[in-house]
Amino acid sequence: MQINFNGTKTIDRVVVLRFQDNYTSPIEPTDSLTFNTYGVTGFTVQGWNGSTWITLATVSGNNLVKRTVNFAAFTTDRIRVNVTSVLAGYSRIVEIEAWGN
């Protein structure tokens, strides 16, 4: 999933939110809410440097519905999240947030 910013931004963390197991009655996700059935267990966060994608972070073994990924500050006009492993066969990403200073 790719996000193009409105201009260049310096970011140092991304928050990725996934489907909750009880998706018909979801609750506000916390940093400790886990999933057992539906979820993205592995992914990379990449930033565009003007000519190629640079891997900023790699996540594996994830079981958190809301996963915050920190990395060294990176200036870019776009990012992407590449899903590398999932439960139940689908990559169910609900929201991606990019943050910086």
Give dist(CA 85, CA 42) in Å, integer: 5
What pLDDT score was predicted for residue 29?
94
The number of helices, as runs of H, and strands, as runs of E, in the chain is 0, 5
Write down the pTM of the prediction: 0.93
Question: Three-class SS of residue 18?
Answer: strand
Q: For each of the chain's 101 residues, which pLDDT tens digit applies?
A: 999 999 999 999 999 999 899 988 999 999 999 999 988 999 999 999 999 999 999 999 999 999 999 999 999 999 999 999 999 888 899 999 999 97
Q: Which helix (H) or strand (E) holds 95?
A: strand 93-99
CB-based contact 98:11 (threshold 8 Å): yes
Q: Cβ distance 59 to 42 under 8 Å?
A: yes
List of domains in the chain: 2-99 (2.60.120.260)
H or E, element range at 8: strand 2-18
Cβ neighbors of 89 (< 8 A, separation 6 or more) are none
| Predicted local confidence at residue 83, as pLDDT | 97
Q: What distance in Å separates the CA atoms of residue 92 and residue 85, rounded to the nearest whole number? A: 11
